[in-house]
Structure formats: structure tokens, C-alpha cells
Structure 1
């Protein structure tokens, strides 16, 4: 753990963009911490009160003590440039410069976020739990915010499916919010899951931190399933972040008479993927088990990000040519040839003629 990186987020007013700017300018968190006040000012990354607060913070904070407190709490940290940083999150427009985490290294790529109302109906709770349980059985990691309602149901469902789940907190990891989920969070860590946060120890769960937390939830995942959401809710903020980053938004339809379903129904009207089964998600990404008549389930090998990109171009009603994919994707001929071969070996597509491909139907 880099104690200098761990000390940076504690500075009041120093956001992720400022931290990334400082680290990129000075090369490492240690170099940032040990730079002279004059060097910090000359870098012109910070201004006014933020600059003054940071200079004061460095003089009054001991990184060794920060490291010791994290060690006692069994919490580690990583920067957006480290190997153990969530790979999809690192590609977003505003990734946290530093992430604190407890439990397993949160570096999976096969992730789906499940979010929704805190005041969920029994329909929403059951749906979130079922979807998460079945996705977890297919080795999909479930990401959510640890809140009451849909979030908690999603985490519990993933545990029931013997899979991993990640809680993205809007407070320091030494705080438990909501307090009734203490045992749930312990179970998540004990079963190979992770608690993560961009906030340092001691940070309370303030309202303004939840929208920022939502960008992490959507940024970590391939797609976001919104189970229940009112017309104005944090879940819709999460879906907005997902769309901005080019991620998929799945929406579970609900009753027109239930307020907590108005947001999800509106998402579908606006173009979200209508999601009535966990299989809709598996099908979208080519994940999981495929039934073949008279045979046992065949489990397809997971796709890499680049393979998935090419696979999506192939997901048309008719065959597609390699030339079409090159024009649409911008990939080189050599790279595309390799990826097409991998997709054929993994059983996702087949070649119908020279340079022509179609998806193998499940």
C-alpha cells in the first residue's frame, strides 16, 4: 500500500480530478507529498482555498499514521494507475484517483450493477435477489451500493448464488451504513467479495457523496440493471452515469400503478434494454450456460473486452463481413483476424465463407 496515496483523499476539497492531476504532474503520490510548497504552486493545478488547504494538510498529516490506521482496519488502497484497480472504472471520464477497499482485490471484469429503490416492493426485492443469485451462479460479480431495499437484496442474492459481490460505499470503510447491514457486509468480505470507497476513514455518509458514489457503481460494471426506481431517484443518476460512459442500461418493467416503478418504465420508453430475466443479461454479453437440445449445458468461455466488442458487431440478423467490422470498429486487420479466430474457438461465431461471419445461436 502506498501511504502517500492513502493520505491524499483526506485533504478537504481535494477531488479526484485534482489528485490525478497532481500525481500525473509529479509522477508518484510520494513525489506529490514531498514536493515543495513552491513546486505545488508553480504546477498551477490547485487554486485558491484548495491549494491552501492542501499545503496545510501536508504539514499537519503523517502518512505513516494513515497507513497504520488502515492496516489496523484491514483496509488497503490503490490508485487508478495500479494493477489492482477495477479495470473498467479506470477507463471512465472521472475515475477516483485513490480507492480504499476491504476484502478481495476488486479487479474483476465480468461485473453487473444492480440498483433500485430503498423503499422497494416485495416484487422488486424478489426480482433483484433472483437476478443476482442466478447471475452469480454464472460467475458474474454483482455491484451495488449496500443501501436498504434493492441494493441489499442484490448483495444477498449474490451470496445465495455462491458468487462475489461488491459494495460501493458513500462513506469511509470504518463506518457502516446503513447500520443494520453490518453482518451482511461481514459476510460479503468473508465470501470473497469487496467493500470499496473513495472516501478516507472517518468520512460520514453525507448526502452529496451518494451521487459521486453512483458513478463508481456504474463505472465498474459492463451494464446496470435498474430494478425499481421512482421518477427522481439515485438509481436513475446511476443509469445516467452508465449511459455517459457507454455502458448498457437494463430496466425491469413494473406496474404502472406503483410509484417506485415509474422510473424503470420511463427508462424502457427512453431506450433502455427491457429486462425480464437474468438470461437477458447473459445473452447480451454471451456469458454463461447455453442449453442444447438433448445435451447438458455447455459453458462458454468468458470474452475479453476486445472480443466482446467484435462479438457485438457480429450480433446482427444477417452475416457480417470482416471489412464491415474494420470500418465500424477501427481495428487493424491483424488484430481483428486474431479476435475473430478467438471468437470461433470459444464457440460464439462461425465463418460462413471467406471473411463472412454469423453468430452461433444458443
Structure 2
């Protein structure tokens, strides 16, 4: 298992599988589960691919790559030649284990900056683009407190609350991660070019699941929000209208078991209504960073990074795929927590090993974050 994907042949295969028109992320995931890594998928005959994918996707995958695809691959490989640029796939040890809590985790992440930052304990801060001055000050106060405690602040590089949180977080040791809804080589909004450079220069990271050169589109930002929600241990909503994208992030966070926090405001303020709605739905009302810290006894405690703790699954002849868990993974479904306890493995290592087993077709993920052995 590699830390990140840099080999040109591997990069080309991942780019083809994940950006070929007509091949959905779900189809790509099914193909990986059936055949292994992208190079293996792309080497299959059309008939075999047709057992897993719809006809249009099969035709697209078996066709000779066009000039646009060749340019996309070449652009990605040239981009990877620059220091602090990385492509991290689901098969890499550097892939953030927390993203596997999503029903549709991104297959590929493009990272500009410190990729290890995505493994760090983190909290999300989101809110209105047209924030009030007080809202921006609140975002700065909480982000600074989180970063000073060594926690990475995750947000979306948008105007208003996001920008205030990023700017404050880079001043502390926790730093920040910006998840964007464009290609990672594009800064949106354009006025945040300076902030984006400061994030990378300070040791933070900018990350996207969209290929290089992808412009901002309305449907990209909800997908961006699910990554923010999954990376963080909890999400703080600072200011939000009743129909705000921040509420989507909060809902997604709650659905995958993350804590949701909201700062209250005036009952007459439009940008308080979203926060009040969240509080009525069960989000914790917070007035200071201490209110957030008391929910997490272990926040700020050093944690091992998945890239350091990942367990490589041997593909050598004679090695049974499930042996990495010492028999803890059986043919009967077992919860993730129980599997970690039985195998004596930390969560990051177990997630990385399970991912390899899933790609190899040796393990199956079931509803409720349970797993069972298949081979």
C-alpha cells in the first residue's frame, strides 16, 4: 500500500476511471470492488466489465482515450512534479480513514499542501458567506482557540465565515484544511488567492475530489460539504440563514455520527435562524470554545496518523487476505469497533486494511458500518 499515488501509470489509470464521461462514481466504485485497482479494471474485456457496469460506461471505458483525456492525464502528472502536490486514492495509506464513514467516499483526492494535515484531529467551522462583522469575529475566536489546542480547522474557503476561520486557524499549530468545490488548482472565489497561498505556505492544505481545471458549479458545493463533515470530529455553524448550505453540512455531519454545534443569536436576525433551527433539532448551543471542548475529552491529544499506522495487505501467493486481522474478521458480520478491539488495531490501521480487502474482493462493507470476510 503506497502513501500516495505518484507513478504515472497508476495516476493515468485513476484519472481515466474517475473522469471518463459516462462512468459515475458509483459505477467506478463497483468496478474497483469487482476487479481491484484501476489498471486491472481497464485491462478487462468489455464482457467482463458488462457484468458490473451499464453498457454506456463499458463503451466509454473500452474506447481509446481521446485528446482531452490525454491532456488531463498529462496535466495531472505535470502538476504532481511540483513539491507539496499529491494525489491520494482510496488505495493509499494517506487516504483519510474518516472519509470511509461516508456512503460515497471520494475515490481520489487532489491535495495542494501538507497531506498529513487531513489525518489530524479536526473540527469544522462553516457559516454564511455574507456574514456579519460579529459573525466573522466569532469564527476567528473559535478557530484560533481550536488551532491553539492543536486541532485542525476544516472549512470551505468561501467568503465570510469560512475565510475568517481559515485566516485565524493558520496562526496556530493546528492550522487548517480548505475543502474546495473546484479543481485544487483553481481558487474560488478569486479574491482568496492570497488566503490560499497563505494556507499552503503555513503548512495547511487545500483539497478537492474534482480533477484539475474543474470550475465551480452549484452542484459541486454540496459534495464538497460532505467531505468537510466527514473529515471533522464535529462541525460548528457560526451564522446561517434558514436555507443555508451550512445546514446541509450540519445534516451530513449528524448523519455520519459527528457532533453539531451552533452559536445562537438574536431572534430578529436572519443569519441566526439557521443556527436556531439546528439547536431545536438537537445541535449543542455553544457560547465559547470551552463548550465544544467539553464534548471531546481526547481533543488535543496526539493521535497516530493513518499513513504511519496502516497495515499493508500482502498479495503474495499463499497469504490469505483476512489474515491481517488475525482471524478477527470472520464470515459473520462484525462492527468496526468490535473488529478493532478483537484485532488490537487502532481505527486508522483497521480502516486502511479493510479498504484493501474491499478492493481485493475479500471483505464486504454492510449497513451500520459492519464488515464480513468473503475470502
Larger radius of gyration: 1
Q: TM-score, normalised by structure 1?
A: 0.76
Counterpart Cα distance in 1 of 2:64 and 2:107 = 17
* Bigger Cα displacement from structure 2, 10-19 vs 148-157: 10-19
Give the aligned partner of residue 128 of structure 1. 139
Structure 2 spans left out of the alignment, 5+ residues: 1-5, 306-335, 347-375
Out of 282, 289, 292, the residue aligned to residue 271 of structure 1 is: 282
Out of 81, 84, 89, the residue aligned to residue 79 of structure 1 is: 89
Give the aligned partner of residue 230 of structure 2. 219
Give the aligned partner of residue 357 of structure 1. none
Matched residue of 1:284: which SS? Answer: coil
**Conserved in 1, the CA contact under 8 Å of 2:123 and 2:234?**
yes
Q: Quick one: structure 1 residues 182 and 13, their matched pair in 2 at CA, closer, same or farther if it must change by over 3 Å?
A: farther
Counterpart Cα distance in 2 of 1:209 and 1:330 = 32
Shift of residue 266, structure 1, vs aligned partner: 1.0
Out of 122, 143, 148, the residue aligned to residue 154 of structure 2 is: 143
User: 2:52 matched to 1:44?
Assistant: yes
Q: TM-score, normalised by structure 2?
A: 0.74
**Conserved in 1, the CA contact under 8 Å of 2:15 and 2:73?**
no
1:240-290 per-residue CA deviation (whole Å, 9 max, x = no partner) reads 1111111111111111111111000111111101111111222111146xx
- What are the residue-to-residue correspondences of 1:221-300 with 2, within 5 Å? 221-287=232-298
Shift of residue 142, structure 1, vs aligned partner: 0.5
Q: Quick one: structure 1 residues 179 and 113, their matched pair in 2 at CA, closer, same or farther if it must change by over 3 Å?
A: same
Structure 1 spans left out of the alignment, 5+ residues: 289-299, 306-328, 340-362
Shift of residue 7, structure 1, vs aligned partner: 3.5
Out of 193, 196, 205, the residue aligned to residue 204 of structure 2 is: 193
Shift of residue 35, structure 1, vs aligned partner: 2.5
**Conserved in 2, the CA contact under 8 Å of 1:132 and 1:161?**
no
Counterpart Cα distance in 1 of 2:204 and 2:195 = 11
**Conserved in 1, the CA contact under 8 Å of 2:123 and 2:152?**
yes
Root mean square deviation of aligned Cα:
2.9
User: 2:105 matched to 1:98?
Assistant: no
Aligned pair count reads: 304
**Conserved in 2, the CA contact under 8 Å of 1:166 and 1:194?**
yes
Out of 4, 24, 32, the residue aligned to residue 23 of structure 1 is: 32
